[in-house]
Chains A and B, each alone.
Chain A
Amino acid sequence: MSKTSSVKKLKKQENLVGYLFASPWLLGLIVLGLFPILLSFYFSFTNYNMISAPTFVGFENYRILLTNDNLFWKSMYNTVYHVVIAVPLGIFVGISLALLLNNKIRGISVYRTMFYLPNVVSIVAMTLLWMWLFQPNFGLINQLLKPLYNLFHMEPIGWYLDQNLSKLTLILMGLWTAGGSMVIYLAQMQDIPTTLYESAEIDGAGWWQKTFHITLPLMTPSIFFNFIMGLIGSFQVFTIAYIMTNGGPSRSTYYYAYYLFDKMMIDKAMGMASAMAWILLVIVLVVTILALRLNKYVFYLGEEA
């Protein structure tokens, strides 16, 4: 009996020491994470202009956003458009780059570094650079395409200044950083046992068969990871539009996170902005849960079939 109680005491002490060691992180989580999250949940039910005290308005913010706010739906459409195109395209380009750079040629590490480099460039600098490149009137891209325009008697493409192309332009620009996901794909590719390829080669498999029947299936864990992270990140797209297009032209790049930011900083409607944040959280949560169901198609190496 006394032995049991002393074990219990020791366990308690051990737990206490554990909590003590974890306390800086716990404190950070509660003060910097949990508290603002809970506070924003409360604010979402209030009218709060960030100067006067918040006043409770019940579900009014949610009602307005969902039923009487054209910009809410416009920004939602823009964001979904971005997610639907940018995420698969990003995965496709990332995998393509990884396949391209998974070769044993001279100076391959230099090429890999070059493709990864855009990821260490500040997003502001990157956006400004692409603004110059895509500038319809004197940007480098249109200058290079000039012979084509002349050949087909076309008007130069308006890129980010054309409301029908602005979202696609930003997506294209975002592909410049596909090197980030490429590194993950590359790492997983190099983890694939060479014996599998050797057996396939003995069976007469070519590059195509090896890629589609060995490489890609065994890369599904990293594809899945990048897919989930891409989904979450794309729903929060903001910076490129903020710097490059100001949400325009004609609100065509006015994304959800941008509208949320404006609700807070321009309209001084912190309550409404908080409600938007919680709606976004629910959307991202639901989409992620649905996406997680794809896990059954992911093949983890070493796992029994």
Chain B
Amino acid sequence: MKKILLSMLLVLAAFSAFGCEAKTETEAITIDFWHMSPVGSESYAATKAIINSFNDSQDRYFIKGTGFSFWDYWDKIAVAISSRTAPDIGLSTIDDVVTRAEAGVLYNITDLIAADPGSIDLGELYQSQLDFATYDGDLYALPFTATCRVLYYNLDMFETVGLTEDDVPHTWSELYTVAKQLDVVNDQGEIQQLGFDPTYGNATYHGWLWEAGLDFFDEDLNPTLNTQEYVDILNWIIDFNGEYSRSQLTAFGDANTMLGINPFAGERVAMMVETDGLYQTIKNSGADFNYGVTYIPIPDDNGIRVNWGSGFSIEMYDNGKGEDDQKQGAWEFYKYLMSYDVQMELSTANGWIMAHKGAMQTVSVGDPILTRLIEEVQYARDKVYVPYAPSWHGNDWQPYYNNALTGEMTAAEALAAARENYLQKKANWEATHQG
């Protein structure tokens, strides 16, 4: 009995040993790729197809894609990077690539391109985006997608008041004149339709400032906001629909946002500043009204054609474990993701504006709206990354902005208070970052 048991064990051990050896020889190296197309999302199918296609094309590497929703992604990736368990490849925000490059958690893309000539044509990418991905003269990420903001206008609404596409506004004064013709208010004073509001959609105070050649910070990242021009622009925003109370405007806006309806897509606002994403939303909703897009109107004197655009970066994470095979595999997939074909495929399937100019030109053929959106990408500019106030345009600014809009503070008071807050944050940041 003992002998039988022993021989059975030996056979089992031999099988396991051979099994292990065979597995090691054929097993592909797993490359982790984190993206924002989880199961159930609209973009899941296309992302999955692209990963499968890469996996099928070779057997040395196996791409394991993990999708998180946009809202969950940032916490996950931040924790993974800090615990040095980041995926081999992942998406992130392009405006703060420098912070990660500085911390040494990203692979140097310039070195990888230099070692693999012809792998990626940087000429196909927007220089403004590449600048954000550059640290100490080298690239540490590449732009994966691009975004822009434009003025959407409803041509059906234009037509009802006798306006045509030729009347689409391009300056702030034209915008005001046209917008006022498109307002509709009922007998009870309730807004039924609004021509335009400079706070609706994705219009931002810093966006309006940029058009006037101003910004929140100077070149040394000191807060500005302390001249009359800033006050004037904020007052222009506040007074644009001055004939209505803020509560009327809020009520009208809330009625849309609480129902999750974009006011422009819901045909309640005639003109609105929005991102390129609205185009896809309108398409998906099957809306049948006539509309167009153009650049955001600029100040009448010396206005600058610019819009706030950003995009996701694609990054290769260095977890400090010297994993050369992982790095090589990640690079192969990285090149694949940045290729003309894949960029085109992702744009076609998901409606995203990808970073690859050539791919986007092909995709936009025969699509006038997309063509205009892509045209605006070249005028897009990302917000500067301010280490002492990473959310300078959001968390740090919004309370003051709201106070100015609701009349709790005058424009000058709100700007002064916001500047004070930035200065305090700067001083505190410097106190803990000496040396």
Whether B424 and A267, one on each chain, are in contact in the complex, defined by CB atoms closer than 8 angstroms, is no
Find out whether the CB atom of B258 lies under 8 angstroms from the CB atom of A51: no
Contact of A52 among B75, B103, B403 (CB under 8 A): B103
Known: A68-B424, A250-B408. A135 touches B258 (CB 8 A): yes
A286: interface (CB < 8 Å): no
Q: Do A70 and B431 contact each other (CB < 8 Å), given the known contacts A50-B82, A250-B408, A267-B389?
A: no
| Chain B interface size, under 10 / 10 to 19 / 20 to 34 / 35 or more | 35 or more
Taking the closest CB of chain A, its distance from the CB of B191, in whole angstroms, is 11
* Interface hits, B378-434 → A, CB 8 Å: 389-391, 394-395, 398-399, 402-403, 406, 408, 421, 424, 427-428, 431-433
Any B CB within 8 A of the CB of A282: no
Is the Cβ of B250 less than 8 Å from the Cβ of A64?
no
Nearest A residue to B432 via CB reads A47
Among A69, A132, A251, A266, point to the contact of B390 (Cβ < 8 A): A266
Number of A residues near B (Cβ < 8 Å) is: 36
Within 8 A of B (CB), among A179-199: none
B391 close to A267 (CB less than 8 A): yes
Overall SS of chain A's interface? loop
Evaluate contact between B99 and A51: CB separation under 8 angstroms. yes
A49 interface contact, C-beta 8 A: yes
Q: Are A249 and B81 in contact (CB under 8 A)?
A: no
Q: Does B255 contact A (CB under 8 A)?
A: yes
| Best-buried of B389, B402, B427 by chain A (most CB within 10 Å) | B402
Evaluate contact between B402 and A50: CB separation under 8 angstroms: no
Contact of A271 with B by CB under 8 A:
yes
Q: Does A137 contact B (CB under 8 A)?
A: yes
A89 CA / B82 CA spacing, docked (Å) = 42
By beta carbon, the residue of chain A nearest B428 is A64
> Complex Cα distance A31/B333, Å?
37
- Chain B 247-260, CB-CB to A under 8 Å as 1, else 0, gives 10011001100100
Binding site for B on A (CB under 8 A): 47, 49-52, 57, 60-61, 64, 68-71, 131-132, 135-138, 155, 158, 161, 163, 247-251, 262, 265-269, 271-272
Q: Which residues of B contact A (CB under 8 A)?
A: 75, 78-79, 81-82, 99-100, 102-105, 247, 250-251, 254-255, 258, 389-391, 394-395, 398-399, 402-403, 406, 408, 421, 424, 427-428, 431-433
For the complex with contacts A68-B427, A161-B250, 11 further pairs of A-B residues with Cβ separation under 8 Å are A50-B79, A51-B78, A51-B81, A51-B82, A52-B102, A137-B254, A138-B254, A155-B247, A251-B399, A265-B75, A266-B390
Closest 9 CB pairs of A and B: A137-B251, A50-B82, A51-B103, A47-B432, A52-B103, A266-B391, A64-B428, A57-B432, A251-B399
